[in-house]
């Protein structure tokens, strides 16, 4: 991938080997943001797990204290009273058979998909469409539920889903460059706390392998995993 002059100039100001505290890293990310739009701040954490083993897949949801700076577009697969509850809660798309057919036809204009348990038999047929995009509803992330109103409200209000990829990385947005440093710190720390909380019992050795924060158009800045609030626990697992 070829980068422009602004990115290269920003990259020249980053020591690729330097590990910073969360405050310092976020200050640098904000300072290096040069885009004309409000860039998203993204966090990437490499975990010491083996995602090939089912028991070491790290997956769940959490609510970021300061929100994400983005209102999620939510699609809900539901019928009857549950469908109406989803609409009342502010869901962007609601339907049963009709929504399944619409998504099968290529409609993917949403960030989160929620389904009631009774419709998962039909939604499961969309696995090839929703699965690769991380949109398949799952009980573990609270996106398969009868309480669709609560789920819609939470995901509209800053709840995010996380999951390890094929090599053990967790990547998610933690706010916008326009956020205060304090709010970004709260969000980053909330994610790190959550990842440590859900550490698989079978994961041995060092757990937080690397932590990197960046803006949409900026270079990655490395955070020292041992300088987070849970440093003692992390070090104890090494």
DSSP string, 59-103: EEEEE-TT--SS---EEEE--HHHHHHHHHHT-SEEESHHHHHHH
Spatial neighbors of 232 by CB under 8 A, at least 6 apart, are: none
Cα 194 to the center of its chain, rounded Å: 12
Sheet strands side by side (includes 74-77): 93-95, 74-77, 112-115
**In angstroms, rounded to a whole number, what is the distance separating the alpha carbons of residues 168 and 234?**
17
H/E stretch holding 115 reads: strand 112-115
Sheet strands side by side (includes 208-215): 169-176, 40-47, 208-215, 221-223
**Phi, psi angles (nearest 5°) of residue 34:** -120, 0
Per-residue pLDDT of the chain (238 residues; tens, 9 = 90+): 555 666 556 555 666 778 899 999 999 999 998 888 999 999 999 999 999 999 999 999 999 999 989 888 999 999 999 999 999 999 999 999 999 999 999 999 999 999 999 999 999 999 999 999 889 999 988 999 999 999 999 999 888 889 999 999 999 999 999 999 999 999 999 999 999 999 999 998 999 999 999 999 888 999 998 877 643 343 333 3
Strands 169-176 and 40-47: antiparallel
Domains, the chain, ordered by start = 14-68+160-236 (3.30.190.20), 74-156 (3.40.50.790)
Strands 208-215 and 93-95: unpaired
**In angstroms, rounded to a whole number, what is the distance separating the alpha carbons of residues 119 and 96?**
7
Contact 148, 85 (CB under 8 A): yes
Q: What is the pLDDT of residue 168?
A: 95
Helix/strand/coil for 148: helix
Q: Of 85, 211, 237, which is closest to residue 153 (Cα–Cα)? A: 85
Question: Rg of the chain over CA atoms, in angstroms?
Answer: 19
**In angstroms, rounded to a whole number, what is the distance separating the alpha carbons of residues 109 and 174?**
21
- DSSP strand E in the chain: where? 40-47, 59-63, 74-77, 93-95, 112-115, 159-163, 169-176, 208-215, 221-223
């Amino acid at each position: 991938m070829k980068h422009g002059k602004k990115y290269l100039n920003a990259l020249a100001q980053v020591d690729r080997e330097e590990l910073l505290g969360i405050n310092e890293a976020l200050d640098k990310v904000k300072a290096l943001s040069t885009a004309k739009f409000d860039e998203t701040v993204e966090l990437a954490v490499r975990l010491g797990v083996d995602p090939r083993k089912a028991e070491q897949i790290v997956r769940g949801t959490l609510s970021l204290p300061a929100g994400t700076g983005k209102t999620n577009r939510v699609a809900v697969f539901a019928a009857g009273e549950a469908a109406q509850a989803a609409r009342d809660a502010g869901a962007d798309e609601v339907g049963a058979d009709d929504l399944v057919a619409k998504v099968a036809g290529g409609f993917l204009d949403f960030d989160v998909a929620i389904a009631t348990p009774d419709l998962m038999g039909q939604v499961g047929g969309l696995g090839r469409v929703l699965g690769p995009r991380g949109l398949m509803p799952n009980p573990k992330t609270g996106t398969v539920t009868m309480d669709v109103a609560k789920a819609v409200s939470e995901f509209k209000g800053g709840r995010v889903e996380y999951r390890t990829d094929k090599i053990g990385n967790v990547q998610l947005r933690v706010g916008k460059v326009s956020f205060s440093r304090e709010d970004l710190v709260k969000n980053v720390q909330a994610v790190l706390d959550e990842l440590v909380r859900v550490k698989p019992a079978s994961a041995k050795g060092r757990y937080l392998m690397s932590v990197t924060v960046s803006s949409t158009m900026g270079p990655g800045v490395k955070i020292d995993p041992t300088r987070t609030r849970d440093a003692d626990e992390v070090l104890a697992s090494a």
